[in-house]
Structure 1
Amino acid sequence: TETDNIKKMATDQALETIRNRIDEFGVSEPDIRIQGDNRILLQLPGIKDPERAKDLIGKTAQLTFQIVDDDADVNSAINGTPPVGDEILYQNKYNSTSGTSTKIPFLIKKRVLLDGSLLTDARVEFDQFQQPQIGIEFNRKGARIFDRVTGENIHKRLAIVLDKSVYSAPVIQDRIAGGKARITGSFTLNEAKDLAIALRAGSLPAPVEIIEERTVGPTLGADSVRMGLISMIVGGLLVILFMLIYYKGAGLIADLALIINIILIGGGLAAFQATLTLPGIAGIILTIGMAVDANVIIYERIREEIRSGRTALAAVVAGFERATLTILDANVTTFIAALVLYQFGTGPIKGFAVTLCLGIIASLFTALVLSKTIFIFILKNKQTSKLSI
C-alpha cells in the first residue's frame, strides 16, 4: 500500500542520514541495518561518549527560515490564541554567569520561506568573541531564494528555526546575495560540531526514538584487528629486510622513509578520529607496497645512471628526475580511483578510500621529497663519492 511505501522510504532515508552523521568519512565502520519495518539496528565500535552519539542520532535537524510577526503582540498570543497563520516558538538563552537558561517567546509566521534541504555546506566558525557559530551555504537554487526572501523583507526579522526552536532572529538590513548565512546561539564547541554534522548529513524524515541500548565487549572484532595488525607488521618487516639486503645503504633510507610514511598515515587517521578497522589496515598495507614500488623505480634509475658513468650526486638527482613522472602517473591514477570509491562508496569502502588517499599523499612526500633530501644531504657531507646501492 501507499502508506507502507512511505514508511519504507522514510526508514531507508533515516538509515542513510544516520550513517552520514556518525561516519562522515567512512573510517568508524559502524554496523547499520534495518530490522523489521520501522527499526534500525546501530552498532558503534570504539565509541567513548554514548550520550553525545544518541543526541546526534536523534536530532531531527529540520532547519527552516521564517519571518517573525512583529505586527501582533506575542504576550497576547501566549495568553490567548495566536493569529491565523502564526505559531509561538521559543529561543533558549543560556546565561553562563548564573548557569540558568530562559525561554524567550517569538511569534513566527508558519509559512516556511527556505529550508535546509537546499544546504550544500555547514561548518563551525568563530565570532569576534571566539564563540562557536555555524556557517551555512546554500546551493544555487537556495541562494536565489535567500536573495529574494531577504530583498522582500528588509527591516523585518528572519527567524532561523531548528527543530521548532528559534536559534536567532536577526533584522534583515539589506538584500543578502551569495547564499551564505550564520546560525548563532549559546553553543559549546561539541554542540556546534554535532549540529554542523547533522545539517550536512540532512534532516531525518521523522523523529527517531531510541528503544534499547547495550554495551558489549569487542572480543571478536579485537581478534580480527589483532590478526590484521600482525599481518601488517610481518609484511612491513619483510619489506624492510628486503630493501636492506637488495639496496644496502640506500635501502636504509627507503626503510626510514617507509616508517615516516606509516607515522604520517597514523597522524592523518587520528585527525579524522578514525577507528582502526580491517579496511583501514588493508589500505595501509597497500600503501606500504606502493611506497616500496616508488623506491624501487627510483633506485633502479639511479643504478642505471651510475653504470653510465655519472657521479653519485649527479646519478641521484637524475634518477629522481626521471622516475618522478612514472611514480606520479601510477599514484595519481590510484588516487583518482580512491576518490571514486569515496564518492560512491559507503561505510568500510569509504574508509578504505580515505586511508588509501592519505597513504598516497604520504608516499609521494616520503619518496619524492624526503628520500631525495636525505640522499643529497648525505652525499654533500660525505668524503667518498661512492654510493651504497
Structure 2
Amino acid sequence: MNILPRGAGVMIGTVAASDTAAVNALMSRPEVQQMLPDNVTLMYSASPFGQNPQGEKMYRLLGVRAAAEMTGEVVDEASVTFDQYTNEPKVSITMDSKGAREWSRLTAANINKQVAIVLDRAVVSNPVIQERIPGGRTSISGLESRQEAEDIVTVLNAGALPAPVEIVSERTVGPSLGQESIQAGLTSVLVGLLIVALFMIFYYRTGGVVADLALFLNLILILGILAGFNATLTLPGIAGIVLTIGMAVDANVLIFDRIREEQRAGKTLVAAIEAGYQRALSAILDANITTFFVGAILYSFGVGPVRGFAVTLMAGILSSMFTAIIVTRVVFDYLVKERGREVSYG
C-alpha cells in the first residue's frame, strides 16, 4: 500500500490487489478508525487504474462520506452520449423534481469538490463538480472510455430500481474443501474420458482410435479457447467439459454407424466414408446448433456459475464439431486414400 501525503484530497492511497485483505484488516483496527472523521468511510475504486512494477492491478483507496447525500431513486434516466465537438463519451443524467432540488443544493455547496458514485461499497466514478447545476439535468465528462461511461450508466439505472435483498442461505467453504471439490471434478473428467475412450476402441476398433485422438484434441482446444478469453475453470465449467466429452463422441457414433450401414449395402470403404459423413452431417448440425443456442441463452441471462457452465459448453460444442467432422475425416482420408490402409468400424 502506498500512503499519500496529508492534504485535502479524497484519495488516501493506492493498494495492490493482493494487499486488499491486509489493508482491510489494518483499517478495521479501532486505533485506525479513531483517526478518521466520524462521517468518513474508506472505499476502493471499482476498477483498477494501472499496475505496479510486479504486474499487479492497483486500486485507489478513497475517503467517502459515510451517509449518502442522494440515491439512485431520484434518477429518471441515465444514458451514454458523445460530445459534439470532441466526440468523447459522457454520461447524461435526468432526475425527478425531488432529485433536481437536492442536486442543485449539493452542487452549489460543493463546487470544485468531488462527488462519489458508489455501488456495492466501491467507487465507480468520482467526478469534480464544476458549477451549480439546476433543473435536474447534468452530465459527467472527462471519462477515459465508452466502457467507463456504460459502467456508470449501469450503476445509475440500477440504483433507480429498488431491489430489496433477502439472504436465503449462506455457506462458508474452507480452502481444503474447495481444493477437494476441484480435485473431485478433475478426477471425474479423467475417469469419464478414460471410460469413453475404452468404449470407442472396443466397439469401433480403428475408428474408435481416431475418435479418441479427436477427443483429446477437443479438450486441448477447449482449454485454449478458455485461456484466450481469460476465463476461469470453475466446477460448473468442469461439468460443462464432462458433458462436452459425451457430445463429441456422439457425433462420431452417428458417422461410424452410417459408414457401417453403407458398407453393409455393398459400397467400398472410400464410398462408405464419403456417404457416411454426408448423411450424418445434418443430424450432427441440428443437435449441436440447438444446444449452442441453449448455452448462449444461459450465458445471456445466467449469473456466476451458470455462465461458467455456458462458456465451457459453447466452447466444447464448437471444438467438438471441428474435431468430429473435419479432423477425423482428414485422418480417415489419409489412412484410406494415401496409405491404402483398411479401417475397421467394428
For normalisation by structure 2, the TM-score amounts to: 0.57
Determine the structure 2 residue equivalent to 1:258: 215
Q: Which runs of 5+ in 1 are unaligned?
A: 1-47, 67-82, 91-102, 115-159, 162-166, 169-182, 186-191, 207-215
1:53–1:86 CA distance, 2 compared to 1 (3 A): closer
Determine the structure 2 residue equivalent to 1:343: 300
Q: Deviations over 1:309-332 (max 9, x none)?
A: 222222111111100111111112
Residue 337 of structure 1: how far off its partner (Å): 2.0
1:84–1:239 CA distance, 2 compared to 1 (3 A): closer
Residues 1-389 of structure 1: pairs in structure 2 closer than 5 A = 52=59, 64-65=91-92, 87-88=111-112, 106-107=130-131, 109=133, 113=137, 161=140, 167-168=141-142, 183-184=143-144, 195=148, 198-199=151-152, 202-203=155-156, 205=159, 218-384=175-341, 386-389=342-345
Determine the structure 2 residue equivalent to 1:4: none
The 1-side partners of 2:91 and 2:240 are apart by 41
The 2-side partners of 1:321 and 1:341 are apart by 31
The 1-side partners of 2:312 and 2:61 are apart by 27
The 2-side partners of 1:107 and 1:227 are apart by 60
Q: Is the 8 A contact 2:247 2:320 kept in 1?
A: yes
CA RMSD in angstroms, aligned pairs only: 4.0
1:105–1:326 CA distance, 2 compared to 1 (3 A): closer
Q: Deviations over 1:290-316 (max 9, x none)?
A: 011111010000111122222222211
Residue 289 of structure 1: how far off its partner (Å): 0.4
| More moved, 344-353 vs 293-302 | 344-353
SS of structure 2 residue aligned to 1:64? strand
1:105–1:87 CA distance, 2 compared to 1 (3 A): closer
Q: Is the 8 A contact 1:302 1:315 kept in 2?
A: yes
Q: Deviations over 1:148-193 (max 9, x none)?
A: xxxxxxxxxxxx62xxxxx53xxxxxxxxxxxxxx447xxxxxx97
Residue 360 of structure 1: how far off its partner (Å): 1.0
The 1-side partners of 2:198 and 2:259 are apart by 20
1:106–1:196 CA distance, 2 compared to 1 (3 A): closer
Q: Is the 8 A contact 1:301 1:322 kept in 2?
A: yes
Q: Deviations over 1:126-168 (max 9, x none)?
A: xxxxxxxxxxxxxxxxxxxxxxxxxxxxxxxxxx62xxxxx53
Residue 50 of structure 1: how far off its partner (Å): 7.7
SS of structure 2 residue aligned to 1:357? helix
Q: Is the 8 A contact 2:91 2:152 kept in 1?
A: no
Identical-pair percentage: 44
1:298–1:108 CA distance, 2 compared to 1 (3 A): farther
SS of structure 2 residue aligned to 1:230? helix
Determine the structure 2 residue equivalent to 1:141: none
The 1-side partners of 2:310 and 2:61 are apart by 27
Q: Is the 8 A contact 2:91 2:149 kept in 1?
A: no
SS of structure 1 residue aligned to 2:91? strand
1:317–1:221 CA distance, 2 compared to 1 (3 A): same
Determine the structure 1 residue equivalent to 2:86: none
For normalisation by structure 1, the TM-score amounts to: 0.51
1:242 maps to amino acid: F
Q: Is the 8 A contact 2:111 2:129 kept in 1?
A: no
The 1-side partners of 2:208 and 2:325 are apart by 15
1:53–1:239 CA distance, 2 compared to 1 (3 A): farther
Q: Is the 8 A contact 1:65 1:112 kept in 2?
A: no
The 2-side partners of 1:54 and 1:225 are apart by 34
Residue 272 of structure 1: how far off its partner (Å): 3.0
Q: Is the 8 A contact 1:265 1:358 kept in 2?
A: yes
Residue 280 of structure 1: how far off its partner (Å): 0.8
The 2-side partners of 1:293 and 1:252 are apart by 15
2:159 maps to amino acid: P
Q: Deviations over 1:77-109 (max 9, x none)?
A: xxxxxx97994468xxxxxxxxxxxx9995575
Q: Is the 8 A contact 2:262 2:272 kept in 1?
A: yes
1:111–1:64 CA distance, 2 compared to 1 (3 A): farther
Residue 373 of structure 1: how far off its partner (Å): 2.0
Q: Which runs of 5+ in 2 are unaligned?
A: 1-54, 63-70, 73-77, 79-89, 94-106, 115-126, 161-172
